[in-house]
Structure 1
Amino acid sequence: MSSYLETALGGNSARAPVWMMRQAGRYLPEYRAVKEKYDFWTMCRTPELAAEITLQPVRRFGMDAAILFSDIMTPLFDMGVQVDFTPAPVIADPVRTAADVRRLRVPEQDEIAPFVSAAIQLIRADSPVPLIGFAAAPLTLATYLVQGSGSKHFMEFRSWLRTDPALASELLGKLTEVTIRYLRAQVAAGAQAVQLFDSWAGLHDIASYREFGAPSAAAVLGALVRPEVPRGYFAVHAAHLMDAVADLPAEIIGVDWRTPLRVARTTCPTRVLQGNLDPAVLLAAPDVVRRETERVLRDGLGGPHIFNLGHGVDLHTPEAGVHAVLEAVRDFDRTAEAAHGAADGAVAPTPPAAPNEREVDAL
Structure 2
Amino acid sequence: MKNPTTTTSSPLFLRAAWGEDTPRAPLWLMRQAGRYLPEYRAIKARASFWEMVRTPELAAEITLQPLRRFPLDAAILFSDIMTPLPAMGVPIEFNPGPVVAEPLRTQAQLEALRLPEPQEIAPYVAEAIRLVRRELAGKPVALIGFAGAPLTLATYLVQGSGAKDYEEFRAFLRQAPHLAHQLLQKLTELTIRYLRMQIEAGAEAVQLFDSWAGLHDPDTYRTFGLPYNQKVLSALAGLGVPRIYLAVGASHLYPLLALLPCEAVSVDWRLSLAQVRPFFPAHTLQGNLDPAVLLAPLEVITQEAHKVLRAGLGGPHIFNLGHGVIRTTPPEHVAHLVEVVHQFNRHSEEPA
Q: Same fold (TM over 0.5)?
A: yes
Q: SS of 1:74's equivalent?
A: coil
Q: Does 1:120 align with 2:129?
A: yes
**Residue 168 of structure 1 aligns with which residue?**
180
Aligned mates of 1:43, 1:202 — CA distance in 2 = 30
Q: Who is 1:246 aligned against?
A: 258
Q: Partners in 2 of 1:275 and 1:5 — Cα distance? A: 15
Q: Look up the match of 1:210.
A: 222
Match of 1:84 in 2: 93
2:51 to 33, 42, 48: 42
d(CA) in 2 for partners of 1:305 and 1:242?
17
Q: Equivalences for 1:134-153 in 2 at 5 Å?
A: 134-153=146-165
Aligned residues: 340
Could you tell me which of 69, 84, 90 is aligned with 2:78? 69
Q: In the alignment, is residue 14 of structure 1 matched against residue 38 of structure 2? A: no
Aligned residues with identical type, % of pairs: 60
Deviations 1:10-53 (A, max 9, x none): 11001000000000000001101111111111000000000000
2:40 pairs with 1:31: yes
* Contact residue 20 and residue 308 of structure 1 kept, 8 A: yes
Q: Report the CA distance between 1:227 and its aligned residue.
A: 6.0
- Give the structure 2 partner of residue 275 of structure 1: 287
Equivalent residue, structure 1, for 2:4: none
Give the counterpart letter for 1:151 in structure 2: A
Aligned equivalent of 2:119: 110
1:150-299 matches, cutoff 5 A: 150-226=162-238, 228-299=240-311
Superposed, 1:49-68 pairs within 5 Å as 49-68=58-77
2:338 aligned with 1:326? yes
Name the aligned partner's letter for residue 124 of structure 1: R
CA separation in 2, counterparts of 1:269 and 1:194?
Answer: 21
Q: Distance in 2 between matches of 1:250 and 1:256?
A: 17
| Matched position secondary structure for 2:348 | helix
Alpha-carbon offset, residue 324 of structure 1: 1.8
RMSD: 0.9
**In the TM superposition, what are the counterparts of 1:293-308 in structure 2 within 5 Å?**
293-308=305-320
The question of whether the paired residues in 2 share the 8 Å contact of 1:274 and 1:307 is answered with yes
TM-score by length of 1: 0.93
Q: Deviations over 1:260-289 (max 9, x none)?
A: 111110000110000000000000000000
Q: Where does the alignment leave 5 or more consecutive residues of structure 2 unmatched?
A: 1-9
Tell whether the 8 Å contact from 1:286 to 1:320 is kept in structure 2 after alignment. Answer: no
Residue of structure 2 in register with 1:97 after alignment: 106
Give deviations 1:160-184, integer Å, cap 9, x for gaps: 0011111100000000000000000
Structure 1 regions of 5+ residues with no counterpart?
347-363
TM-score after normalising by structure 2: 0.95
Find the aligned partners of 2:163 and 2:206 in 1 and give their Cα distance: 27
CA–CA separation in structure 1 for the residues paired with 2:243 and 2:80: 18
- Of 225-234 and 241-250, deviating more is 225-234
Task: Tell me, in whole angstroms, the C-alpha distance in 2 between the residues paired with 1:51 and 1:281.
Answer: 28
Deviation readout 1:278-301 (Å, 9 max, x if unpaired): 000000000000100000000000
Q: Match of 2:22, as an amino acid?
A: S
Deviations 1:75-124 (A, max 9, x none): 00000001111111100111111111111011011111000000000000
How far the C-alpha of 1:320 sits from its partner, in A, is: 2.1
